[in-house]
Every structure is written in structure tokens, then in C-alpha cells.
């Protein structure tokens, strides 16, 4: 069963801290010699996954196999992998040489070989002649180089890197990125990299694992992830994007922002609701409006160095982000078109809220840990029911007291003409809401649902 | 201007009142008069007779006891306190708060209460009081101070360095020895010095745990001596020497602390 091409296999890995599920049934295979990146916003579980691999944490469930051997319960000092920490974690009481030689000395490597290997490692990170320096006297970048040398000198099969460049300034970070990539090529070992910086992930990786809330959202090459995001989270997180509600009319024909476009996606069925992603650099913008597919007015135009970033309001009220080398004056009318291959269609994860509940009386239902009034649809108390509510039929209230339920704004997605919010209730359920009002992440809201807006069916 | 002078003189007056007793003893240790307060000319004879055995044998024994007890108590409590500090540091949230709080109580507890409770403990356990019980009692009240002086070093430490050591192939014990101990060593040394001075200085706890087998430490000796009426003149140079020693130790602690914080500031400004 063991595939020679894979070095690490993660199966059904789960980890919780108290009530909080940090990793939820992770399955992943890491190929020998590849540069793989765990990418996600803070709190998505990427660092926990790395710490499980290093052995600093034990999983609640699941196994980690390395070279066909189960290492799930192996203590960190016996694992054949080394880590580069975010805050370097150099030993302050040792000089550069002794820091790098630390692992070799523990392994009783003869001292003349230690010296040879330390020098080679220092050369690798371009820090020759720094052997006797006190590590506290080094700059952040230099400390990180020593930390990398300290890890690779042990010739691990896998190198784990926990946001190693996060503490460096931009210029330094760019230089180190190139050096890391070069190092990966020279060493030929597997690099497992953790970052929240999507640009860094796209630059460095062979494979990217996009994570959110303890789940893997997508695994793929940087181009796959950028061009073919599997869901709106990935599309929103990786790069800038316009994410819009659309309708697949038939194969290769999709309608959104009030127009019908030719596209290259197939197999969604006819008249299916979908999410459409268009990257801002993929919308062509021209001064003439005659030949354009659709038209609009420029509402803002900001110079971003390489390109201009513009917001355009289309004639039917959708706001689009567009990047172009040429600026267009604010207030001017412009024409736009999109190439079929630049339209990316994604299946919608859901089209309405669906909750399971129990009837308390013919006119009230218990769901999400609260009691809601509902219309009488001939159901009896005690009946198990399924309740469906459209995204735009959930009311959010400023005053928490006014709602039947309270919750917190957890995730915000702009859909061109409205916001799609994920509200986490106090009990931990997710409610999805479409609204024109502007809310901020972490806002506390009251949630109310009008009796007429609930579609209740009996569960069988 | 006048305000400044008043403020200044207030400070000096306060310091003078604080240090007057010990200064008087120090001054009168350099004269031979039997009664404190009589100046019979400068002489270092009291110092000579203190060390030449002119005084009773029991005083020398008391000095010896004081220092061996202090050394033992400081060594053991440094070891215990450091281990405890590492343990507390690795706890999370409420548990850590509670234990830190419990660690602080014995330091605020009046010595007399500590003394009496230890006395009752030893009696109820049927342990004969003597040298061992004094050492045990001193370890008991010194350990919290070691915890207190090691804790800040642990907090300053990059929490990843222990994991880094494990990652590089060190067993947990090797990581403790090669990485954690060198990092907290300054705190351990401060804790040791503090324990040592506390132990030398202690009277209240000692008197309750020393038993009646004739064992004396300096503090109990001086107390007994004073109660017999009139202090042995040699106690004046002895007090002066002890004061000087404690002053020196405190200076060392403070200079170390200052140097450490300077180093830290340098590190941060880099």
C-alpha cells in the first residue's frame, strides 16, 4: 500500500483544545522532495498541524506515517525531521557555532566532522566567518539564517518551517524567499512550510494546502489554487477577486451581473445557482462603450505601483474591482469585457440555510438552541422537522437583546452588490446571511427570523 | 530652593534614622569598652579576640551552625524552587494563577506564624527538634523566594527554545540541562543568595524549631546572651561583619539584576 513517492502520510488526524476543534479529520499525503505549504488565516490550524508533525503535540485521533512507519506517538527527539521556528529560538547562551553544532554533539558525531558540517551549513546560508559571534548580536535575518543552518546541518529528511520569514521586513523577506527556494533545490529534501502570506505561498511552493477552521479547503499547485479555486473561501483568500452570484444557464453559458457570458465550464447542469470568480486583472476595461460587453462608471482609482486598482459600478448596480496598467478617471464611463477562459465557475456550497429542529407546538419550533415562532403548517408538537431559510430572509439586529438568538460576524464576503456573512451563534452553529448593511468582523448581532420566512418540512 | 532643601534633608534624616543603630554598632566595634556608648579610644582588639578564640566556644559554634544551615537550606531550596518554577511556568491559566498565589502566601505570612506552625508540625510528627528541623524549616520558607526569582527568567525566555532542543534530538532531561538551566541560571543564583541571607538573618522560625539540645545559631545565641544581661562586646564586630556581608551580597544581586535588564534592553533596541 505504501507509495514510494510519498514520505509523509496523514490519516484522519484530529486535534481539539478543550471544546475548540483545531483540526478536523485531516487527510494528506506529502511527496518526497516537494515544497509543500500550509496556508491559511490565523487560527486555521496550520501551525497545530506542523506541531503535530514535529511531535510537540499529540493528536486526539488519526495517524502520521513517515516512510511507512507510524510516528504518531514518537517523541520529538527521535523524529527524523527538524524545525525552523518563527521566532528563531536560538540558544542565547551559545555562540553561532555551538548553536549549529547542538544537534550533532547530541548525536555524538566526531568533532572534526562536526566542524566540517557546521562550516558547510554556514556557507549554505551565507554566514561564513560568523562562527564565534554571540547570537544576540545578530540581526533578525542573520538569526534566521543561523536557525536554518542549525536545522539543516542534521541532514533531516523533512524540514519544517513555521512562518520563518514573518518577523523580517519586506525586502529581507523577498531575498530570503529566493534563498529558501534555492536551498530546497540544492538539498533535495522535503520542505513543509507554514505561512499566512498567500503571496509567499504562491512564490515558494510546489503544492499549497489551503486551510480554514481546521479543515483542508483545497490542495493543489499554486496555479491551480489561483486559477481554479474550489470555493469562495479559497477565491477570497488567495489574491484579489470578484466573487459574484451567478446562474449556469447551460454548459459554457453563465449569467451574472445581469449579463450572460460565454465560459468554459461544463457539467453544472442547467439553471443551477453558482458562484462566479473573476480576478480583477482579468476584466478588460476600455474607454469606448460601443463594443463593450457591459458598461459602468469608475468610482475610485488608486495607483498601486505596477498597476492601477479601480472600482467600477456597472449600470445594473454591481461593484467590480479591476486592475489595469492604464488609469481611468473617476466618474468616467467605461466599457468592459471578460474572456470566457477568465471566468471561473464554482459550485455553491449551499443555496439556503438548513437547520434541523423539533416542533414545540403547531406554531413554534425549536432549533439552534432557541424557540422560534412559525406559521401553522399542520404539524404537531414533537414532530422532527427540517427548516429552510433563504440567506436574505434572516434579520440582523444591532441590539443583541432584540434577537431570538445572538451571534458574532465570523466571515464576510463581498458579492458585488451585497455582503454574504457567516454568523457564528453562541452555540457554535453557522447561519449564512445576505445583507446590504455593512457589518464588521467580530460584531455581535442579534438574529431574528420572521415566521413567514421559514419553510418547514417534516423530516422522515 | 527652600523646598528643595527641605525635601533633601527629609530624605537624609530618614536614611540616618534607618541606619543609625547599625552605624553606632559599627563605630563602637572599634573600641574596647565593655559597655556600649563609652568610647575608650580606637582599637581593633574586639575583632582580634573574635577570631583568636578569646570568646566563648559556643559563639564560634553558633557562627558555624548559622553558615552551614544557610548553605544547606539555600542549596536545597534553590534546587526545589527552580524545579517548582519550571513546573508552574508550564501550567496554564487558572491553575498557574492559583499556584503562584499559593506560593506567595508563605512570603507574606508572619515568620512567627510559620515558626509556630512548623513547631507544631514537628511535635505532632514526633520528630526530635535539632539541626535537621532547623534546616527543613529554613528550606520551607526560602523555597518560595527562589520560585519568585526564577519565574521572571522563564517568562523572558523564548518558549520555543525547549522545543528547539527536543527537535534537535535532545531528550527532555538533556533539554532541561543544556538549554533551560543555562537560561534561568541568573535567577537561580539570585534565589540562592536571597535564601542564604534570609536563612542567616532568621530568628523567629529558628527559635521555634531549634529544640533544647543546646544547639545555637547566631540569632538565638545573641538573643540568649542579651537576656542574660549585657551583650558580649565581641558581638559588635560580629554584627558589623554580618551587616557588611549581607550588604555585599545585596549589592551583587542588584548589580546582576541591573546588568541583566540592560542586556535585555540592548537586545530589544537592536
Give ipTM to 2 decimals: 0.76
**Domain A240-347 of CATH type 2.40.50.140:** yes
Domain ranges of chain A: 6-232, 240-347, 353-458
Q: What global pTM score does this model have?
A: 0.78
% helix, strand, coil for chain A, step of 5: 25, 40, 35
Report the gap between the CA of B11 and the closest CA in chain A (Å). Answer: 41
Stated length of chain A:
460
- Residue-wise pLDDT for B221-256, tens only, equals 888 877 877 777 878 888 888 888 888 888 887 887
Given this model, what pLDDT does residue B266 score?
59
CB contact under 8 Å between B168 and A89, yes or no, is no
pLDDT at B78: 96
Average pLDDT of chain A?
A: 89
Residue of A89, A133, A143 for testing the chain B interface, max B β-carbons within 10 Å: A89
pLDDT band at A404 (very low <50, low <70, confident <90, very high): confident
- The dotted CATH code for A6-232 is 3.40.50.300
Q: Domain spanning A353-458: which CATH class is it, in words?
A: mainly beta
Residues from chain A that touch B177, judged by Cβ atoms under 8 A, are: none
Q: Name which residue leads in pLDDT, A366 or B213.
A: A366
Topology alike, domains A240-347 and A353-458? yes
Paired residues of A36 in beta bridges: A192, A207
pLDDT at position A287 over 60: yes
A386 within 8 A of A355, measured Cβ to Cβ: yes
- Read off the pLDDT of each residue in B75-102 and give the average, rounded to a whole number: 91
Res. A1: pLDDT tops 70: no
Q: Does B19 score more than 60 pLDDT?
A: yes
CA–CA distance from B197 to each of A251, B162, B174, B190 (Å)?
Answer: 87, 32, 32, 11
Which residues in chain B are closer than 8 Å to A54, comparing Cβ atoms?
163, 167
Assess whether pLDDT exceeds 60 at residue A159. yes
Q: Are the Cβ atoms of B167 and A82 closer than 8 angstroms?
A: yes
Flag whether pLDDT at A14 surpasses 90.
Answer: yes
Q: List residues of A whose CB lies inside 8 A of any B CB.
A: 54-56, 75-78, 82-83, 85-93, 102-103, 106-107, 136-137, 139, 150-151, 154
Amino acid at each position: 500500500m505504501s507509495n514510494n513517492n510519498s514520505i509523509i502520510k496523514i490519516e484522519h488526524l484530529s486535534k481539539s483544545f478543550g471544546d475548540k476543534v483545531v483540526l478536523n479529520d485531516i487527510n494528506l499525503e506529502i511527496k518526497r522532495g516537494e515544497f509543500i505549504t500550509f496556508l491559511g488565516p490565523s487560527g486555521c490550524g496550520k501551525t497545530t498541524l506542523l506541531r503535530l508533525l514535529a511531535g510537540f503535540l499529540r493528536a486526539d485521533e488519526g495517524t502520521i506515517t513517515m516512510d511507512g512507519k507510524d510516528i504518531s506517538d514518537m517523541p520529538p527527539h527521535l523524529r527524523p525531521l527538524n524545525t525552523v521556528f518563527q521566532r528563531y529560538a536560538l540558544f542565547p547562551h551559545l555562540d553561532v557555532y555551538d548553536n549549529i553544532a547542538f544537534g550533532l554533539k547530541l548525536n555524538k558525531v566526531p568533532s572534526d566532522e562536526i566542524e566540517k558540517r557546521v562550516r558547510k551549513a554556514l556557507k549554505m546560508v551565507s554566514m561564513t566567518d560568523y562562527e564565534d559571534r554571540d547570537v544576540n548580536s545578530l540581526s533578525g535575518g542573520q538569526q534566521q539564517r543561523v536557525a536554518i543552518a542549525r536545522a539543516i546541518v542534521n541532514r533531516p529528511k523533512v524540514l519544517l518551517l513555521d512562518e520563518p520569514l514573518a518577523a523580517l521586513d519586506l525586502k529581507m523577506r523577498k531575498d530570503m524567499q529566493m534563498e529558501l527556494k534555492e536551498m530546497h533545490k540544492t538539498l533535495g529534501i522535503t520542505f513543509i512550510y507554514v505561512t499566512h502570506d498567500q503571496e509567499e505561498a504562491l512564490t515558494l511552493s510546489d503544492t499549497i494546502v489551503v486551510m480554514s477552521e481546521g479543515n483542508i479547503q483545497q490542495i493543489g499547485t499554486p496555479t491551480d489554487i489561483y486559477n481554479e479555486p474550489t470555493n469562495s473561501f479559497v477565491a477570497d483568500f488567495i489574491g484579489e477577486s470578484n466573487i459574484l452570484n451567478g446562474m449556469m444557464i447551460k454548459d459554457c453559458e453563465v449569467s451574472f451581473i445581469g449579463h450572460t457570458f460565454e465560459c468554459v465550464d461544463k457539467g453544472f447542469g442547467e439553471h443551477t445557482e453558482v458562484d462566479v470568480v473573476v480576478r480583477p486583472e482579468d476584466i478588460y476595461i476600455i474607454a469606448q462603450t460601443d463594443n463593450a460587453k457591459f458598461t459602468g462608471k469608475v468610482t475610485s482609482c488608486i495607483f498601486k505601483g505596477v498597476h492601477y486598482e479601480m472600482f467600477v459600478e456597472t449600470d445594473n448596480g454591481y461593484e467590480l474591482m479591476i486592475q489595469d496598467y492604464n488609469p481611468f478617471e473617476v466618474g468616467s464611463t467605461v466599457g468592459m469585457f471578460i474572456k470566457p477562459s477568465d471566468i471561473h465557475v464554482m459550485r455553491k456550497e449551499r443555496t439556503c440555510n438548513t437547520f434541523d429542529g423539533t416542533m414545540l407546538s403547531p406554531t413554534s419550533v425549536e432549533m439552534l438552541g432557541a424557540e422560534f415562532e412559525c406559521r401553522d403548517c399542520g404539524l404537531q408538537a414533537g414532530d422532527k422537522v427540517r427548516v429552510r431559510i433563504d440567506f436574505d430572509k434572516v434579520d440582523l439586529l444591532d441590539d443583541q437583546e432584540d434577537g431570538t438568538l445572538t451571534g458574532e460576524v465570523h466571515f464576510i464576503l463581498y458579492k458585488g452588490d451585497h455582503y454574504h456573512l457567516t454568523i457564528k451563534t453562541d452555540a457554535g452553529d453557522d447561519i449564512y446571511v445576505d445583507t446590504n448593511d455593512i457589518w464588521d468582523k467580530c460584531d455581535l448581532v442579534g438574529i431574528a427570523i420572521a415566521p413567514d420566512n421559514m419553510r418547514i418540512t417534516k423530516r422522515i | 530652593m527652600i523646598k528643595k532643601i527641605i525635601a533633601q534633608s527629609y530624605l537624609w534624616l530618614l536614611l540616618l534614622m534607618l541606619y543609625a543603630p547599625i552605624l553606632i554598632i559599627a563605630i563602637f566595634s572599634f573600641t574596647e569598652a565593655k559597655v556600649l556608648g563609652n568610647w575608650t579610644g580606637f582599637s581593633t582588639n574586639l575583632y582580634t579576640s573574635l577570631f583568636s578564640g578569646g570568646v566563648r566556644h559556643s559563639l564560634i559554634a553558633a557562627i558555624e551552625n548559622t553558615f552551614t544551615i544557610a548553605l544547606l537550606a539555600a542549596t536545597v531550596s534553590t534546587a526545589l524552587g527552580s524545579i517548582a518554577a519550571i513546573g508552574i511556568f508550564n501550567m496554564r491559566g487558572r491553575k498557574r494563577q492559583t499556584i503562584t498565589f499559593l506560593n506567595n502566601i508563605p512570603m507574606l505570612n508572619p515568620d512567627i506564624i510559620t515558626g509556630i506552625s512548623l513547631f507544631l508540625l514537628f511535635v505532632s510528627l514526633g520528630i526530635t527538634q535539632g539541626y535537621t528541623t532547623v534546616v527543613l524549616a529554613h528550606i520551607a520558607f526560602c523555597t518560595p523566594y527562589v520560585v519568585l526569582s526564577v519565574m521572571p527568567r522563564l517568562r523572558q525566555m523564548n518558549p520555543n527554545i525547549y522545543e528547539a532542543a527536543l527537535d534537535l534530538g535532545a531528550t527532555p532531561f538533556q533539554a532541561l540541562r543544556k538549554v533551560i538551566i543555562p537560561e534561568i541560571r541568573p535567577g537561580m543564583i539570585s534565589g540562592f543568595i536571597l535564601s542564604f541571607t534570609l536563612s542567616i538573618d532568621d530568628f523567629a522560625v529558628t527559635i521555634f524549631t531549634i529544640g533544647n539540645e543546646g544547639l545555637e545559631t547566631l540569632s538565638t545565641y545573641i538573643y540568649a546572651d542579651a537576656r542574660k544581661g549585657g551583650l558580649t562586646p565581641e558581638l559588635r564586630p560580629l554584627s558589623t561583619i554580618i551587616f557588611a556581608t549581607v550588604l555585599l551580597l545585596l549589592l551583587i544581586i542588584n548589580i546582576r539584576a541591573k546588568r541583566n535588564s540592560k542586556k535585555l534592553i540592548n537586545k530589544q533596541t537592536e
